[in-house]
Amino acid sequence: MLLTQLPTPGFSFELIATLGHARAGILHTPRGDILTPVFMPVGTAGTVKAMTADELRADPIDARIILGNTYHLYLRPGLDVMNAVGGLHAFAAWDRPILTDSGGFQVFSLAAINEVDDDGVTFRSHIDGSKHRLTPEVSMLIQKTLGSDIAMCFDQCPPGDANDEAQEVAMARTTAWAKRCRVAERADGQALFGIVQGGISRERRMRHAEQITALDFDGYALGGLAVGEAVEDTYRVLDEVAHTLPATHPRYLMGVGTPQDLERGIAAGIDMFDCVMPTRNARNGYLFTSQGRVNIPNAAHKTDRGPIDPECPCATCRTHSRAYLRHLYQAKEILYARLATLHNLTFYARHVRRIRDRILAEGTRA
């Protein structure tokens, strides 16, 4: 086993086994150990939609870490509320680690942007149209107020079809902003990850990774993937770049993706993943199973007395039939979203744990 003390006190990364580029490890944090590879449920606005904290902590999900989002929590409920309640952990009744996105992806993809310059971004809220300014320092202040265990550097995330000039500008700004985030004040014991941009060019990705890793962060993320480029290009970048990031630090692939994406990412050397896919797809009627995806609104399930997945141990599969779930979905009953989300998050958690178990069983001990 190889144990590396990370720059932030209380954080270390333990590499246990490898299988090709795939890794099994433990990210040690003051609020608990995170077994890697790991899928992190997304709690954009302080909640993993339809789930309680107890359900997320309990088997078979056993989420060791969840996400919160700087952009959304800054706009609502706002920093005054977060200051008053003592941060996101207390607010959401979550005592395990939280990672917060910097708001960079959302401000470039969701908000109405008025101005982007080398200092930051001026934008209008998607909620009420109010005008705001987000800079590296503001992003870090928000994340400090939220009190997340892992903060992300503010970055510029270009779309998948951005031209070479736009990619170079985004890389330069992301590097400059990372340096500013690095020296900004953080919450006590808050780790900080840097983000590598560069689009689908191997040369740009490698060049930008060299710049970001030189800044000595606690972990390194690949951003700007699954933003409109072809899946083949996403996988090629993963295969070319992921394993070149420091082996002594956790590697994070942001906002990706399907169960197959997770398999490919892990094989390429990624340790941490997040995506809204399991929760969003659940609410929209798409359920992941060991036999493939189930579209619960289909008429074929109208009288099906079987579970979503006979191999799944979640309470939904142990208790309810496809026919019942289809009825709840068709009737727009709130219970459907809870049952379906519980199942999809269970599938993702077990999917990643099975891959980790295989690395431990078949791989080489570090």
Q: pLDDT digit string (tens) for 40-82? A: 999 999 999 999 999 999 999 999 999 999 999 999 999 999 9
Domains in the chain, ordered, with CATH? Answer: 39-275 (3.20.20.105), 285-366 (no CATH)
Average pLDDT over residues 192-207: 98
* CA distance from start to end of the chain: 5
CA atoms of 41 and 144, how far apart (whole Å): 21
For residue 306, say if its preceding peptide bond is cis, omega within 30 degrees of 0. no
How many other C-beta atoms lie within 10 A of the C-beta of residue 332? 8
List 101, 155, 218, 309, catalytic entry: 101
The model carries a pTM of 0.97
CB 68 within 8 A of CB 90: no
Structure-token pair, residue 213: 């890793």
Query: Has residue 1 got a pLDDT over 90?
Result: no
Q: How far is CA 27 from CA 15, 75, 96, 348, 352, in A?
A: 9, 31, 13, 19, 15
**Which CB contacts under 8 angstroms, 24+ apart, belong to 262-265?**
262/37, 262/39, 262/348, 262/351, 262/352, 262/355, 263/355, 264/235, 264/238, 264/239, 265/238
What was the pLDDT predicted at 268? 98
Average pLDDT over residues 283-301: 97
pLDDT band at 205 (very low <50, low <70, confident <90, very high): very high
Q: Tell me which residue has tokens 């985004």.
A: 170
Structure-token pair, residue 88: 């996101």
List pLDDT tens digits, range 80-124: 999 999 999 999 999 999 999 999 889 888 777 878 999 999 999
CA atoms of 168 and 132, how far apart (whole Å): 26
Is 274 designated active site? yes
List pLDDT tens digits, range 152-177: 999 999 999 999 999 999 999 999 99
What was the pLDDT predicted at 110? 76
Is 357 designated active site? no
Query: Has residue 324 got a pLDDT over 80?
Result: yes
Average pLDDT over residues 281-309: 98
List 218, 261, 274, 309, catalytic entry: 274
